[in-house]
Amino acid sequence: MRYSFKIGGIHPAPNKIASRRIEIFPLPMRASLPLTQHIGAPSKAIVGKGDKVKRGQLIAENSSFVSAGLHAPVSGTVVGVEDIVMPWGKSSRSIVISATEEEHLEDSHDREKYWCDMIPSICDRSLSERLTADEIRTKILQAGIVGLGGATFPSHVKLSIKPEQKPEVLIINACECEPYLMCDDALMCTYPGRIAEGVELMMKAGGIPRAVIAMEDNKPEAAAAMREALQENKDISLRILKTKYPQGGEKQLVEAVTGRRIESGKLPLSVGVVVNNVATAFAVWQAVATSQALIERVITVTGDIAAGERKNYMVAIGTPFSSLPLTLPGEAIAIVGGPMMGRSAVRLDAPVMKGTSGLTVLKRPERRQPLACVRCGACVDACPMGLEPYLLSTYGRLRMWDEARENDVFDCLECGACSYSCPSDRPILDYIRVAKQRAKL
Amino acid sequence: MSSEHIFIYTLVLMGLLGLVGAIVLYLTAKKFKVVEDPRIDQIEGLLPGANCGACGCKGCRDFACECVRRGNLDGLTCPGAGAAAMKNIASILGVDSVDAARNIAVLKCNGSCGARPLTYEYDGASSCAVMDAVGCGTSACSYGCLGCGDCVSVCRFGALRIDESSKLPVVDEKTCTGCGVCVRECPRHLIELRPEGRRNRRVWVACSSRDKGAVARKICSAACIGCGKCAKVCPFGAIEVTDNLSYINPDLCKACGKCLGVCPTGSICATFENITKDKATE
Amino acid sequence: MTEKLILSTTPHIHTSRTVRGAMLHVVLALLPAVFCSLYFFGLPALAVLCVSVAVCVFTEWFITRYMLRRPSTVGDFSAVLTGILLALNLPANLPLWMVAAGAVMALGIGKMAFGGLGCNIFNPALVGRVFLLISFPVAMTCWPLPEAGFGDADGATGATVLSLVKLGQLNPSLLPESDMLWGSMGGSMGEVSALALLAGFVYLLFLRVIKWQIPVAVVAGLAIVDVLAGYPVLYDIFSGGLLLGAIFMATDYVTSPMTRRGMIVYGLFIGIITAAIRRWGAYPEGMSFAILIMNGFTPLINRYMKPHRFSPKKKKEALA
C-alpha cells in the first residue's frame, strides 16, 4: 500500500527535468533584501545608508516574536533602505548592499572554502547530544531561519513547543509535490547526512521524540541517499508517499503520514505533529554546526528553457533573478516557485528571497478563454479539502461573501487543483481567493 | 347528462370554489393584518430602492423602518435619495431637515493609456480584485487603476462607465449619489467621496502613487511626483504632501484652482476650466 | 527585450482535458450503439440520425448567431451529441419532419432557452424526446422490428417488449436474455443492443469521462423495485431505454449532481421512478420521465449532498 492523503488530488506531469547536481552560483555584486521575507512582522533594519557590513552579519532584527532576522549575504556597503520592485511589480522596503571588487573576491573565496570543506554524507549525532534545546533554538533564531518550503513561517516559533502540547512526531516535508521543482530532491541527494543531523537538532529543539522524512515516490535517488544516511538511526524513519498533488500540503501530509486529520483553523500541533521542510532542516544544521545564518539557499531554475540551463543553484539570498543564466522562450510566464502555487513574475531584476524555491519559466500557453461551467464536477473531485470550488468561485464572482463563508471558503489552501482540472479553463481559484480576502471583512 | 348540464354544473362549481376561496382570503387578511406605520411605506417610496447599504441599514426598507422607529434623522442619511428627498422624509417625520453636503465619487488616478503605457500583459480572470492580488497589473504602476471595472459592476445607479479611450472609469456626476459602494470595492482604494463643492467646483489629486517622484514619473506621465509646488501655492493650506503624494483636504479647499496651474505633471484634476492659468497666460 | 513576461494567475499549468474532448469521447462511445441501430434498422435509421444531428447543430448555430448574437458554441460538439442521443431515442421509422421538430425543441427549448451549454436544467435530448412522445404518441410507439443486415426495414412494425408485457401479451420470464443482449428485438434505435451500450460504458469509464456511480445506481434502484415487486430483474435491465439512459443520458454533466454521493442518490431515484412507471404507470417506458424528474431535483441534491469535507463542520461547531 502506498501512503497518501485521501480526498481529491490531481496528477500533473511531474516534469522533474533539471540536473540534480547543485551548482554554487557566484555571489552578486549588489544584493537587495526585502524586510518582509517571512510570515509575521517585518524585520527592523539596524543598518543605515553608508554602513559597512560583513557577510553573515545581522542587518535587520526581529521586530516581534513571530518575525525573523536578516543577514548580509555579501560584504559591502549599505546603499540604502529603499523600495525595491518585487517580481510581481509591487514594491517592498528592502536593504540594498553593494560590494566592491575586493570584498567580492574575499567573500567568494570564503564561500568556496566553506562548501568544499563540507563533508556531505556523515551523520554526526554528537552535536544534538551536546547542546540543549534552548541553545539550538537560540541559534535558529539568530540565523533568521524560516520555513523554506514557501510558507516562510519563522522556524524558532514553530519549534518553541511546550511539553504539555505533547509533540509526538516531526514530519520533514520532502514531498516537493509541485511539478518542475527539484531543489529539495537535489539537496537530499547531495547532503543527506547533514539533513539527518539537522532533523536531529530540530527534534532536540522541539522536544520531539520521533521524526519521519516524507517524500513522494518519484525521488528514488534521494530516497536511497537518505536511507543510507539514516542507516543506524532509530528515531528518524523514511516514508515514501504516492506522487499526487498536493501531497506536500501541510494537512494532506499529516494525514498521509499519521492518518490524523487536522481540524480546520488548527495547527498540526493539535494532533501532536510538527511539520518542517527538508531544506529548513539543512539550514538548521548550517546554523548550529557551522554558524552560518540563512544567507543562501538552493533554487531550481527550470521549465521551457535550454536543457543546459535547467539547474539547481546554491544562490545567495538577494541575488537578482536576471543574473541567472537563462534564455526566455519568447513570450513566457516566469514563475517564482512552482507552476501550481508560484507567483508569476514580470520583472526579473527582483531578488531571490528566503522562500524562493525556484524559477520556472513556461512558454506562454494559448490564452485561456473561459467557457461556461458544465458542472462536470472535476473541481469537486480534485479539491483536497473536500470543498466545492465551482460554488465558492461563483460566490466570489457574485460577491456573496456570507454564502462563501458558510461553505467553508477558509478551508481552501489555494493549491490550484480546481483551476488545473477545469475542462472549461475557468479561473476558479482566482475568484475563490477574492472570496477568501473579502469574506474576512 | 347533456353537454349544457355539464357546462352549468362546471360554472356553478367553479363559482362556488372561487367564492369560498375569496371568503377565506378575506378572513385571513383581516385576522393577520399587521398594523404598520404608513409613514414607512411613504418614506420607502422616496428612497432609490437600490439597497446599496450606504446608510448603514440592511436595505431601503430597513432604513425607512429605522427612520420611523427613531422618529428623527440623527445620523440617518440616504446619500442615494438626494437632498430634496431627504427634506421630504424629514417633513414626513415632522423634524427639521439636516443639510448634508452631497458627495460625489472621484477617481484618484489619471493613468490613461496615453499617460501610462501598458507594459505587461495579463492572463487571468477579468477582475480588479484578482489582478491586484496577482501583481501590479498591466502597467508598471502598482497604485493605479487596473481598469477591469469592478467599480462599474457594483454601481447600482449606473453612474460609472469605463471610458473607451482612456480605459479608466468615469463618474457621471448627475447620477452619482455618493453611496460609496465603489469606494469599498476598489482593491486599490482609488475612489474617494468628495463634497460636491460650491457651484459644483471640485479639485482633487488624480493620483495615488506613493512611488518616489522619478520612479512614478517614469511609469506614468500623469503621476503626482510629490514636488510640493501645489502645497506652496495653496493660499488656504489645504494641500499636504505625504509619502511622495499630495492630498487636497476638501474641508479647506476653496476650489480656487491655483494648484492646477503649478502642477508639473497635470495630476491635479478639477471640474472647471482653469481660470487662473488662463489669466496667467494672458 | 523582445521576450515578454505575462502576468498570469495560479495555477499556471492546466489539464489537457477539455469539454470538447469529453463530448467527443461520449460521441465515440455511442458509435457501437449507432452502428448496431444501423445494422438492425437500416437506411431509415441513418436518415433519422442525420436529420437529428443536422437540425440540432443548425438550431444551436442559428440561435447563438442570430438571436443571442454571441460566438457560436457549435464547436464544443455538445449539439452533435444531443442530436445522436435524440436519434437513438426515436423509432427508426419516425417521419423525418417529426425528427426535425424534436431536434428544434431539444436545442431551442431544452438548451438554448436556458442560456446554452452549462445552464440548462433538463437534458436537451430528453426534452426533445418527451415532446415528441406527448405530441405524437402513436408514431413514437410504433417500432419497426429489427432485421439484421442493414436492410430496408420498412416491413413489419410492432410494439416493444415492454409494451407487450404491459398489455399482458407477453410473459417476461419466457424471453431469451441473449436476444436482448444482442439487440434483436423491437425498440427505439439506441435501445436495441445492450452489449454495444455496455461497450461504450466501459470506454467512458476507462477514460474517466463519466463516473460509475450514476449508471450503477440507476440499475440498482430499478433492481430493488423489481425484486420487491417480484419481476425478473435481468429482463427489466436489458429492455427498453434503461441502459441507454443510465449510461449516456443520466450522466450528462450539466444536469446531474456534482458529488459522488449526490450521484448515487440521483441514480437510485431514477431507477426507482423508472421501475414505478413501468410497473404501475400509464406508459410502458419511464426512463426519460424519470431522468427529467430527477434533473429537476439536481440543484436540490447539490445543495444537500456536499462532498466529504477534509474537516467536517460538525466538529467545528461543537468546539465553537
Q: Tens of pLDDT along A271-328?
A: 999 999 999 999 999 999 888 999 999 999 999 998 889 999 999 999 999 999 988 8
Closest CA to C112 of C305, C312, C254, C251: C254
CATH number (domain holding residue B70): 1.10.15
Contacts of A366 in chain C (CB under 8 A): none
pLDDT at residue C319, as a whole number: 45
Whole-number pLDDT of residue C140: 82
Lowest mean pLDDT among A177-181, B83-87, B148-152, C268-272: B83-87
Q: What spatial distance separates the first Cα and last Cα of chain C, rounded to whole Å?
A: 56
Distance from A373 to chain C by nearest Cα, in Å? Answer: 6
- Any domain includes A296: no
**Could B120 and C9 be called an inter-chain contact, meaning their C-beta atoms sit closer than 8 Å?**
no
Instruction: Classify burial at B30, counting beta carbons within 10 Å of its beta carbon; exposed 0-12, middle 13-18, buried 19 or more.
Output: exposed
Same domain, residue pair B78 and B167:
no
First to last CA, chain A: 45
Tell me whether residue A390 is in a domain. Answer: yes
The answer, for B98 touching chain A at a CB cutoff of 8 Å, is no
Interval A127-159: pLDDT, tens: 888 888 999 999 999 999 999 988 899 999 999
What residues in C contact A330, CB-CB < 8 Å? Answer: 2-4
Of the three residues B93, B112, B133, the one that is the final residue of a domain is B93
Residue A407 per-residue DSSP state: T
Tell me if A405 is assigned to some domain.
Answer: yes
For chain B, the straight-line distance linking the first and the last C-alpha, in angstroms and rounded, comes to 103
Among the listed residues A143, A140, A121, the one whose alpha carbon sits nearest the alpha carbon of residue A132: A140
CATH code of C20-304, in short, is 1.10.3430
- Close Cβ partners of C194 (under 8 Å, ≥ 6 residues apart): C180, C181, C183, C237, C238, C243
Separation of alpha carbons A160 and A312, rounded Å:
32
The answer to whether residue A253 is domain-embedded is: no
Verify whether the Cβ–Cβ distance B134 to C9 is below 8 Å.
Answer: yes
Q: What is the mean pLDDT of residues C111-116?
A: 90
> Which range of residues forms the domain containing residue A398?
378-439
User: Which residues of chain B carry a pLDDT beneath 50?
Assistant: 277-282
Domain around B45 = 41-93
User: In this complex, do A423 and C21 lie within 8 Å of one another by their Cβ atoms?
Assistant: yes
Whether the CB-CB separation of C159 and C114 falls below 8 Å is answered with no
Are B161 and B244 within one domain?
Answer: yes
Task: List the single range of A181-185, A198-202, A367-371, C48-52 with lowest mean pLDDT.
Answer: A367-371
Q: Do A344 and B134 touch (CB under 8 A)?
A: yes
Q: Say which CATH number the domain at B275 has.
A: 3.30.70.20
- Read off the pLDDT of each residue in A400-418 and give the average, rounded to a whole number: 92
Name the one residue in this structure whose C-alpha cell is 477579468: B126
Domain ranges of chain C: 20-304
Distance CA A7, CA C279 (A): 40
- For residues B121 and B238, membership in a common domain is answered with yes
Least confident of A247-251, C93-97, C140-144: C140-144
Within this chain, do residues B253 and B117 fall inside the same structural domain, yes or no?
yes
| Partner-chain contact A434 B123, CB within 8 Å | no
**C140-156 CB burial, b ≥16 within 10 A, e <16:** bbbbbbbbeeeeebeee
Which chains pack against B, by 3+ Cβ pairs within 8 A? A, C
Closest CA to B105 of B193, B206, B195: B193
C-alpha cell at A216: 513522494
User: Could you tell me the three cell numbers for A275?
Assistant: 511539520
- Are residues B129 and A437, on separate chains, in Cβ contact within 8 Å? yes
Q: What is the pLDDT of residue C180?
A: 57
pLDDT reading at A429 higher than 90: yes
Q: Is A334 helix (H, G, I), strand (E, B) or coil?
A: strand
> Residue A316: its pLDDT value, please?
95
Question: Taken in order C29, C31, C36, C38, is the CA torsion positive or negative?
Answer: positive
Residue B168 burial (CB count, 10 A): 21
Q: Among candidates C137, C112, C107, which has minimal Cα distance to C124?
A: C107
**Residue B204 burial (10 A CB sphere; 0-12, 13-18, 19+):** buried
- Please tell me whether residues B82 and B109 are part of one structural domain: no
Looking at residue A32, its pLDDT comes to: 94
User: Which residues, 6 or more positions from B266, have their beta carbon under 8 angstroms from its beta carbon?
Assistant: B110, B222
In a shared domain, residues B266 and B179: yes
Give the integer Cα–Cα distance in Å for A323 and A351. 10
Q: What is the pLDDT of residues C175-224, one digit of tens each?
A: 555 555 555 555 677 776 788 889 999 999 999 999 999 999 999 999 99
Torsion angles phi and psi, residue C6, rounded to 5: -105, 135
Beta-sheet strands, E only, within B206-273: 239-242, 245-248, 268-270
Number of helices and strands in chain C (H, E): 15, 3
In this structure, what C-alpha cell is assigned to residue B59? 436595505
Q: What is the mean pLDDT of chain C?
A: 84
> Cell for B8?
352549468
What integer best gives the mean pLDDT of chain A? 91
Q: Which residues of C88-101 are buried (b: 16+ CB within 10 A; e: fewer)?
A: bbbbbbbeeebbbb
pLDDT of C152 over the 60 cut: no
- Chain C positions touching A371 (Cβ under 8 A) are 19, 73, 76, 117-118
For A11, the closest chain C residue by CA position comes to C15
Strand B245-248 with B239-242, pairing: antiparallel
pLDDT > 70 fraction of chain A, expressed in percent and rounded: 98
C37 — pLDDT class (breaks 50, 70, 90) = confident
Number of domains forming the structure of chain B: 2
For residue C139, give the C-alpha cell.
408514431
Q: State how far the alpha carbon of A202 is from the alpha carbons of A126, A160, A214, in Å.
A: 14, 10, 16
Report the gap between the CA of C303 and the closest CA in chain B (Å).
Answer: 26
Q: Does B150 touch chain A (CB under 8 A)?
A: no
| Alpha carbon C170 to chain centroid, angstroms | 27
Q: Residues near A387 by Cβ (< 8 Å), separated by ≥ 6?
A: A380, A407, A408, A409, A411, A412, C307, C309
Total of domains in chain A: 1
Question: Is the residue at A413 inside a domain?
Answer: yes
Chain B residues whose beta carbon lies within 8 Å of the beta carbon of residue A399: 154
Examine the pLDDT at C316 and tell me if it is beyond 50: no
If we measure between CA atoms, which residue out of A290, A278, A315 comes closest to residue A23? A315
* Residues A335/A362, Cβ–Cβ less than 8 Å: yes
Q: Which of C248, C232, C234, C230 is nearest to C287 (CA)?
A: C248
> Residue A423 domain-assigned?
yes
What is the DSSP code string of A12-69? ------S-SSEEEPPPPSEEEEES--SSSSPPEE---TT-EE-TT-EEEE-SSSS---
Tens of pLDDT, residues A375-387: 999 999 999 999 9
C-alpha cell at B188: 486599490
User: Above pLDDT 70, what percent of chain C?
Assistant: 83
Q: Is the pLDDT of residue C12 over 70?
A: yes
Is residue C226 predicted with pLDDT exceeding 60? yes
Residues B135 and B218 in one domain: yes
Helix, strand, coil proportions of chain C in percent (round to 5)?
Answer: 65, 5, 35
Residues B174 and B240 in one domain: yes
Asked whether residue B192 is assigned to any structural domain, the reply reads yes
Residue C72 confidence (pLDDT): 84
pLDDT value of position C185: 57
Report residue B22 as a C-alpha cell: 375569496
Give the pLDDT confidence of C49-106 residue by residue, as tens digits. 999 999 999 999 999 999 888 888 888 899 999 999 999 988 888 899 999 999 999 9
Measured CA to CA, the distance from residue B279 to residue B282 in angstroms comes to: 5
Distance between CA atoms of residues A139 and A127, nearest Å: 13
- Give residue C275's pLDDT: 92
DSSP string, C31-72: HHHHHHHHHHH-HHHHHHHHHHHHHHHHHHHHIIIIIS-S--
pTM over 0.90: no
Residue C179, pLDDT score: 58
Sequence-distant contacts of C61-65: CB under 8 A, at least 24 apart? C63/C107, C63/C108, C63/C112, C64/C112, C64/C116
Nearest by Cα to B228 from B218, B208, B249, B243: B243
Q: Quick check: A344 and B130 CB within 8 A?
A: no
